[in-house]
Structure 1
């Protein structure tokens, strides 16, 4: 195509074999449908399609080239293509022209070119030689695709991956990522540092070799349950390190879901809790020793009371000391974190343990975790009620029953616990003439310690005791 012309004035007969010599006016070549189609493709392409001679001078310039580079066809045709090339990349044009002259095609490569404004543009370029009808190389065709946005996305992905890897390798936990079916495909550096393994060794079921055989089946079963249901996973078990020693880990995995709510992947961590477990065991041992010594002290006090006090008083005090001891046992068992109310009540019914489920019924909420103060207060109250029932109330004969009901009730003032002790079928009862120490334990003590309302009634059918306390005064703090 002659210099100064473009695709709109004279579509080429063959873009790969192009004769730049102008035709005589009396020898016009009719434009075929194929020519028009080819011209339309070039004109409407989103890629810059440019032709140049073997010296690098532009011969044609389509609208997309103008849009990408900012130069018009009138500004570029007849001028060197090098105006688009940054100074530090001029050697690329030298190489391209040399290869084109030898008939070599330059496959797609990514580079930078200059916009008319001077800013750099990322482009993917393909260059092919152009031949005339005799097969001589007369120029080159260049197709350039603007990949600035693609490069930016790629840069962000690289930065995001680098940020993720830096974070994942900086955390103290072992970390891993699995497919939706539980197949682990990535571990952080700390995992490999601890286990001394490679990703290849861990593929498939290779990870099971790191688990202690006493725990493997349990771990595998719980993991599979999470893979199948999509529920978060948590477990504690030992893992073998590269030194052959096992350490304990608290392990968790959370499902990562796609927009439709389906599990896409899993992200898991293993936190070394070996030292924490050792400290907890030491604390447990110390608490056990303290509990043992406290019990010994209570036994000494009880023996002294039995030797020096009235028998009835001594037995009553001894029973209360034992009730305190049972409360302490429960709290020690749970590291003083609290006691489930059902377990507390059953422990204070030790004297009538054989009647639980028959003549002594416990109903309602049993898992409410009571604070140490609430455990002691309610435990002593249940002990006093049990003692009274076995001596004078429903459990003093062969037919009476006791119903203990625990219920959490929501009120405008917040949730409250209703704890009811109701005796039936025992000897007729009446209100006592005086308030003894037992009354203090079931009435005044709960009011003072728990901010509770206490109601005690004495219908002839049997004693009824009702405690109503704010839940926030009862529950153990996590």
Structure 2
């Protein structure tokens, strides 16, 4: 066989082992296995007895012989080489250039005079070497080196082969690093997801669930295969299932965050209530990649709320009965007195206590303890007042305004006084007439107007001039409590108008 044929066979062999190494790196996940295979492939491809991977250790500023082929026991994992420019390996690492050395260990006049040989290489009789850098996109690992005690020279083609091995190794190490980082991130996420008290899950863009945390399996007693995809529907109470499915499908279709509350069956067969939420996770283009959801057990909270509701109802019922008893006593007292003024005062007191009882009863039945929609509340109050004076026509117009319950009660009492006075005094000739109530809000301020078409107010009317009237005193005191202004004046074309303005939020 001619020298040319031998050279061609040699280079083909290098390409074969390089291709095999590339295939190996696609499957390998262990860094030490990658490094050791790189050494083996380098030795085979170059026909060298020795090869090694040197890893740079910044804390020592040395190159550690991390993996190798052909070295004596105790060398791999322990021997170190200089990382400065005076050694061939250090020069390749620092500059990123391949280094070919020949005649190592020979007298200075005959041998390599650019770099000094390490003690390990001297002990193994190394006479020629190739050093190439191992690098990633933005990091440097160290050096891949092929060594031989033979005097034959390595060539530029040999450098290209070894650099090819180092390049493939660098790409493989990059992949391993990324996959390990992803795996560590996933493991951290799963640890975190299993440590939270909620049941947690993830679904694909269509809403099919592909992952649950361990707490769901602990609660339901089921395995993944039983509740994957849309299998979770088997956990829902039949009375709620259709509603839950409809609402969550709508969110999956529209991409809107989902929230719902429903019971889920546990492994003992009993149901507990869960507040459930899910948010879409999107890519940079806004496309939904997956959904992440949680189910929070709120059974104790719901039971506590129900107990509080029952207690509130019981207290409110007793308050209502107590107010009814007071109203009855005032009614009896008014019927038994012969003094007209005293009778009128008792009847007024009876009406006011009745109003307070009605306001209290309606609030606890229809609204929560913190806030109330004032529009609905005053509309109900006006309907009740209308029932006490059918000869009049009381109309209410308003917009929704949320206000604290205690301020709503006070404003209701204020409205009761103004409307009751209109019923009494606006139409003295009998037959009744219209009374109009309007509610509006703007810029954090509430405006309540009460107007009739009766005889109007006396000239120069001021509340301060009617201090003997219990109604006037109540209006003044309630307005002060609400930080409100009550302005009386004429209506058009006739009658009286009262305008109440006050801040929606009390300062």
Question: Hey, what's the Cα distance between the residues in 2 that align with 1:182 and 1:458?
Answer: 64
Query: TM-score, normalised to structure 2's length?
Result: 0.64
Structure 1 residue corresponding to 2:12, chosen from 8, 16, 23: 16
Question: Hey, what's the Cα distance between the residues in 2 that align with 1:363 and 1:273?
Answer: 40
Question: Hey, what's the Cα distance between the residues in 2 that align with 1:57 and 1:280?
Answer: 74
1:456 to 2:478 alignment: no
1:55 to 2:88 alignment: no
Question: Residue 54 of structure 1: CA displacement?
Answer: 6.0
1:143 to 2:165 alignment: yes
Question: Hey, what's the Cα distance between the residues in 2 that align with 1:57 and 1:258?
Answer: 45
Question: Residue 353 of structure 1: CA displacement?
Answer: 6.1
- Structure-2 residue corresponding to 1:323: 355
Runs (5+) with no aligned partner, structure 1: 1-9, 19-46, 59-64, 80-86, 88-112, 124-139
SS in 1 for 2:303: helix
SS in 2 for 1:74: strand
SS in 2 for 1:472: coil
SS in 1 for 2:344: helix
Kindly indicate which of the two structures has a greater share of residues assigned to helix.
Answer: 2
Q: Residues 303-342 of structure 1: CA distance to partner in whole angstroms, max 9, x if unpaired?
A: 2222234443333222222222233234434441121101
1:185 to 2:210 alignment: yes
1:279 to 2:304 alignment: yes
Question: Hey, what's the Cα distance between the residues in 1 that align with 2:409 and 2:455?
Answer: 30
Question: Residue 182 of structure 1: CA displacement?
Answer: 1.7
Question: Residue 354 of structure 1: CA displacement?
Answer: 11
Structure 2 residue corresponding to 1:365, chosen from 377, 399, 403: 399
The RMSD of aligned alpha carbons is 3.9
Residues paired across the two proteins, number: 372
Question: Residue 371 of structure 1: CA displacement?
Answer: 1.1
State whether residues 323 and 353 of structure 2, in contact with CA within 8 Å, keep that contact through their aligned partners in structure 1: yes
SS in 2 for 1:473: coil
- Structure-1 residue corresponding to 2:326: 301
- Structure-1 residue corresponding to 2:438: 404
- Structure-2 residue corresponding to 1:342: 375
Question: Hey, what's the Cα distance between the residues in 1 that align with 2:457 and 2:294?
Answer: 62
- Structure-1 residue corresponding to 2:447: 418
1:468 to 2:497 alignment: no
1:374 to 2:384 alignment: no
Structure 1 residue corresponding to 2:98, chosen from 72, 92, 96: 72
State whether residues 327 and 375 of structure 1, in contact with CA within 8 Å, keep that contact through their aligned partners in structure 2: no
Question: Hey, what's the Cα distance between the residues in 1 that align with 2:313 and 2:472?
Answer: 32
Query: TM-score, normalised to structure 1's length?
Result: 0.68
Question: Hey, what's the Cα distance between the residues in 1 that align with 2:388 and 2:331?
Answer: 27
Q: Residues 266-294 of structure 1: CA distance to partner in whole angstroms, max 9, x if unpaired?
A: 22111111111111111111111111111
Question: Residue 204 of structure 1: CA displacement?
Answer: 3.5
Change (3 A) 1:444 1:228: same
Structure 2 residue corresponding to 1:228, chosen from 223, 229, 253: 253
- Structure-2 residue corresponding to 1:107: none
* Larger CA deviation: 222-231 vs 384-393: 384-393
Question: Hey, what's the Cα distance between the residues in 1 that align with 2:353 and 2:317?
Answer: 14
Question: Hey, what's the Cα distance between the residues in 2 that align with 1:275 and 1:203?
Answer: 28
1:81-230 counterparts in 2 under 5 A?
Answer: 143-144=165-166, 145=168, 146=170, 147-230=172-255
1:432-447 counterparts in 2 under 5 A?
Answer: 434-435=466-467, 436-446=469-479
State whether residues 420 and 467 of structure 1, in contact with CA within 8 Å, keep that contact through their aligned partners in structure 2: yes
Q: Residues 154-203 of structure 1: CA distance to partner in whole angstroms, max 9, x if unpaired?
A: 23222221221122111111111122222221111111111122221113
Question: Hey, what's the Cα distance between the residues in 1 that align with 2:473 and 2:143?
Answer: 86
State whether residues 122 and 148 of structure 1, in contact with CA within 8 Å, keep that contact through their aligned partners in structure 2: no
Question: Hey, what's the Cα distance between the residues in 2 that align with 1:190 and 1:355?
Answer: 63
State whether residues 455 and 496 of structure 2, in contact with CA within 8 Å, keep that contact through their aligned partners in structure 1: no
Change (3 A) 1:148 1:404: same
State whether residues 426 and 462 of structure 1, in contact with CA within 8 Å, keep that contact through their aligned partners in structure 2: yes
Question: Residue 361 of structure 1: CA displacement?
Answer: 4.2
Question: Hey, what's the Cα distance between the residues in 1 that align with 2:357 and 2:282?
Answer: 50
Question: Hey, what's the Cα distance between the residues in 2 that align with 1:324 and 1:363?
Answer: 22
State whether residues 184 and 203 of structure 1, in contact with CA within 8 Å, keep that contact through their aligned partners in structure 2: yes
Question: Hey, what's the Cα distance between the residues in 1 that align with 2:279 and 2:427?
Answer: 53
Q: Residues 405-456 of structure 1: CA distance to partner in whole angstroms, max 9, x if unpaired?
A: 222x22xxxx222222233x4454444872422223434312x222222222
SS in 2 for 1:268: strand
Structure 2 residue corresponding to 1:387, chosen from 420, 427, 435: 420
State whether residues 302 and 314 of structure 1, in contact with CA within 8 Å, keep that contact through their aligned partners in structure 2: no
Question: Residue 71 of structure 1: CA displacement?
Answer: 7.4
Runs (5+) with no aligned partner, structure 2: 1-5, 15-37, 53-90, 106-119, 121-132, 145-160, 335-341
State whether residues 374 and 450 of structure 1, in contact with CA within 8 Å, keep that contact through their aligned partners in structure 2: yes
